């Protein structure tokens, strides 16, 4: 690789080349076996004579830092692998972040997978259609060889926008045209551009409490004040929404993390509240493709008639989080501004993945994948529900849920601290789960557990729950 040497304001040119190359070797920037920039090339880049560079290289060789191979070049000596790497490192710096970032913790729940993995928000990667996806990505790469290698429209590739419009029209009853779709790098980016377009610093936004916490930190980082609103078995408590709220963020089809579904009466009440208060509703329909009972519930977007609902979706649960592809359905009044917000913040999602995903949807492979995994997730859901009702009835109250990739159970008598202690024992038993108290937005923490079944193999569920039962007994 090209080696950076600075000779600005330096007198001993050969000595500076020697010292900076030696430092790069000792700091590990140049590793054993790495080649140094050829002397002629480096001399040209530094505007010095070649003999100046050769003298520095000869000094490095004499001290054993490098070896020369005739016809091949100069390389860092292999024997230096045993040297202790050191160096000054980067200065701490005088710049300081805003205080909001002190309150944000990077997630650790996705750091490692235990043998009995009941974490939420994760699909089963082994079920992903890998061979089909490789074929479609290869096709997209071949097509891109003939395409102009430039930036694309901020809203995303037209083919994917049309495919998404058809998909949500068929699967969720959402009436949208391709022009209404904006492709994003996941839900979080969709929320980011919505907030940039709709809300100003100091405005208030309401969200479910308990709820999905990353949006809380996102909104707060933009200077938006977050209000937590309680959730009961019918969904967000509309009567608890305060005045002066400009928008509300909800997960009505499968509330995260309580897993309840917002009733039709509560949906209608929320829409009426938005009308009375001139407010927006951001609907996150994150895993509603997976249903295991009851009739499908209509999204808020299909019930709204005044364009106050912004519908947000993602392929993180249906395919893989690693794809980083989501979308939103933009009301026409916001469409141009949302395009501009995408342009100034991210420009557009990766186009190669967009093209491959459009093919996956258009050729029916995505629908086949959903049907296949739905059967598997249904089996896992039923196993967990039956076990919780049978073996944990005295400790836990299971909340009803027939959608998505997780279920939630409230502690009947245990405190938040006791559930946290149980979760630590579960971790020692190779069980990964999440406690309900970790999802509190502003209000009182609730004692309970949240169990995901997206990533745990079906054959490990029963043993994992047996071990979990012992953790409660302890």
DSSP 243-273: TTEEEEEE--SS-TTT-----HHHHHHHHHH
Question: What's the pLDDT score for residue 352?
Answer: 87
Q: What is the pTM of this model?
A: 0.83
Is 235 within 8 Å of 256 (Cβ atoms)? no
CA distances to 137, 175, 194, 327, 464 from 162, rounded to whole Å, are: 19, 12, 21, 12, 42
Question: What's the pLDDT score for residue 70?
Answer: 80
Q: How far apart are CA 68 and CA 58, in angstroms?
A: 9
Q: How far apart are CA 409 and CA 399, in angstroms?
A: 6
| CATH 3.60.15.10 describes domain 130-367 | no
Query: Which of 195, 197, 250 lies closest to 220 in space, CA to CA?
Result: 195
Q: Which of 110-124, 148-162, 324-338 is most confident?
A: 324-338
Please check the confidence at residue 463 and state whether its pLDDT lies above 90: yes
CA distances to 27, 88, 256, 336 from 60, rounded to whole Å, are: 15, 21, 61, 60
| 3-state class (DSSP) for residue 15 | helix
Burial of 215 from C-beta contacts in 10 A (0-12 / 13-18 / 19+): buried
Rg (alpha carbons) of the chain, rounded to whole number: 28
Please check the confidence at residue 95 and state whether its pLDDT lies above 60: yes
Sheet of strand 396-398: strand arrangement: 396-398, 406-411, 448-452, 434-435
Q: How far is CA 18 from the centre of its chain?
A: 45
Q: How far apart are CA 369 and CA 378, in angstroms?
A: 14
Q: Where in 21-128 does DSSP place strands (E)?
A: 66-69, 73-76, 116-117
Share of the chain above pLDDT 90, in %: 73
* Torsion angle of C-alpha atoms 30, 31, 35, 39, degrees rounded to 10: 30
Helical H segments across 95-253, by residue range: 130-146, 158-172, 187-198, 213-221
* Residue of higher predicted confidence among 295 and 455: 455
Question: What's the pLDDT score for residue 350?
Answer: 83
Share of the chain above pLDDT 70, in %: 94
Is 51 within 8 Å of 93 (Cβ atoms)? no
* Residue of higher predicted confidence among 291 and 373: 373
Q: For residue range 403-433, what is the model confidence (pLDDT) as tens digits?
A: 899 999 999 999 999 999 999 999 999 999 9
Question: What's the pLDDT score for residue 56?
Answer: 94
Pairing of strands 116-117, 396-398: unpaired
Confidence of residue 97 (pLDDT cuts 50, 70, 90): confident
Residues 7-20 have a mean pLDDT of 90
Name beta bridge partners: 406.
Answer: 452
Is 121 within 8 Å of 317 (Cβ atoms)? yes
In CATH, what number does 116-123+371-473 get? 3.90.1150.10
Residues 441-459 have a mean pLDDT of 94
Lowest mean pLDDT among 62-71, 101-110, 326-335: 101-110
Mean pLDDT of the chain: 91
DSSP state of 224: P
Any idea which fold 13-82 has? Arc Repressor Mutant, subunit A (1.10.10)
Question: What's the pLDDT score for residue 106?
Answer: 79
Please check the confidence at residue 348 and state whether its pLDDT lies above 90: no
| 3-state class (DSSP) for residue 423 | helix
* Residue of higher predicted confidence among 70 and 375: 375
Question: What's the pLDDT score for residue 89?
Answer: 57
* Residue of higher predicted confidence among 70 and 130: 130
Q: How far apart are CA 366 and CA 317, in angstroms?
A: 13
Give the Cα-Cα-Cα angle 368, 371, 372 (nearest 5 degrees).
Answer: 85
Q: For residue range 237-266, what is the model confidence (pLDDT) as tens digits?
A: 999 999 999 999 999 999 999 999 999 999
Residue 237 CB neighbours (<10 A): 15
| 3-state class (DSSP) for residue 442 | coil
Domain limits, the chain: 13-82, 116-123+371-473, 130-367
Question: What's the pLDDT score for residue 91?
Answer: 63
Question: What's the pLDDT score for residue 215?
Answer: 96
Confidence of residue 287 (pLDDT cuts 50, 70, 90): confident
Question: What's the pLDDT score for residue 110?
Answer: 62
Question: What's the pLDDT score for residue 302?
Answer: 87
Q: Max alpha carbon distance in the chain (Å)?
A: 84
* Torsion angle of C-alpha atoms 337, 339, 344, 350, degrees rounded to 10: 160
First CA to last CA distance, the chain: 58
| 3-state class (DSSP) for residue 459 | helix
Is 423 within 8 Å of 469 (Cβ atoms)? no
Q: How far apart are CA 265 and CA 235, in angstroms?
A: 10
Please check the confidence at residue 144 and state whether its pLDDT lies above 70: no
Buried b (16+ CB within 10 A) or exposed e, 246-266: bbbbbbbbbbbbbbbbbeeeb
Residues 51-61 have a mean pLDDT of 93
Question: What's the pLDDT score for residue 109?
Answer: 60
Question: What's the pLDDT score for residue 136?
Answer: 95
């Amino acid at each position: 690789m090209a080696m950076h040497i600075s000779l600005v304001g330096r007198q001993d040119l050969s000595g500076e080349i020697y010292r900076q190359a030696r430092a790069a070797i000792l700091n590990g920037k140049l590793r054993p076996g790495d080649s140094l920039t050829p002397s002629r090339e480096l001399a040209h880049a530094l505007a010095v004579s070649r003999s100046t560079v050769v003298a520095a290289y000869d000094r490095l060789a004499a001290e054993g830092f490098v070896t020369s191979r005739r016809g091949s070049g100069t390389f860092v000596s292999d024997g230096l692998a045993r040297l202790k790497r050191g160096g000054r490192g980067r200065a701490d710096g005088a710049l300081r972040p805003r205080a909001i970032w002190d309150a944000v913790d990077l997630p650790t729940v996705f750091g490692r997978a235990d043998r009995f993995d009941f974490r939420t928000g994760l699909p089963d990667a082994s079920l992903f259609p890998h061979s089909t996806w490789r074929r479609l990505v290869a096709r997209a790469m071949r097509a891109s060889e003939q395409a102009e290698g430039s930036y694309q429209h901020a809203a995303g590739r037209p083919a994917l926008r049309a495919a998404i419009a058809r998909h949500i029209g068929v699967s969720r009853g959402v009436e949208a045209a391709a022009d209404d779709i904006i492709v994003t790098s996941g839900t979080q980016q969709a929320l980011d551009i919505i907030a940039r377009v709709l809300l100003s610093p100091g405005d208030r936004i309401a969200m479910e409490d308990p709820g999905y916490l990353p949006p809380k930190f996102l909104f707060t980082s933009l200077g938006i004040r977050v209000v937590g609103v309680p959730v009961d078995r019918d969904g967000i408590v509309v009567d608890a929404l305060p005045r002066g709220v400009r928008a509300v963020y909800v997960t009505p089809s499968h509330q995260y993390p309580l897993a309840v579904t917002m009733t039709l009466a509560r949906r209608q009440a929320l829409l009426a509240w938005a009308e009375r208060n001139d407010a927006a509703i951001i609907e996150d329909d994150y895993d509603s493709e997976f249903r295991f009972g009851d009739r499908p519930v209509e999204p808020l977007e299909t019930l709204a008639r005044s364009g106050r609902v912004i519908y947000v979706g993602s392929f993180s649960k249906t395919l893989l989080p690693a794809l980083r592809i989501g979308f939103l359905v933009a009301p026409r009044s916001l469409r141009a501004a949302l395009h501009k917000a995408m342009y100034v913040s991210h420009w557009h999602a990766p186009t190669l993945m967009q093209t491959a995903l459009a093919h996956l949807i258009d050729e029916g492979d995505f629908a086949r994948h959903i049907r296949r995994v739905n059967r598997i997730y249904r089996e896992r859901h039923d196993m967990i529900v039956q076990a919780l009702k049978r073996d944990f009835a005295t400790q836990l109250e299971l909340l009803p849920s027939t959608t998505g990739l997780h279920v939630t159970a409230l502690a009947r008598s245990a405190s938040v601290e006791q559930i946290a202690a149980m979760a630590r024992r579960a971790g020692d038993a190779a069980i990964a789960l999440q406690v309900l108290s970790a999802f509190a937005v502003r209000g009182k923490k609730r004692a309970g557990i949240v169990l995901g079944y997206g990533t745990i193999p079906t054959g490990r569920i029963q043993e994992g729950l047996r071990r979990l039962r012992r953790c409660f007994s302890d």
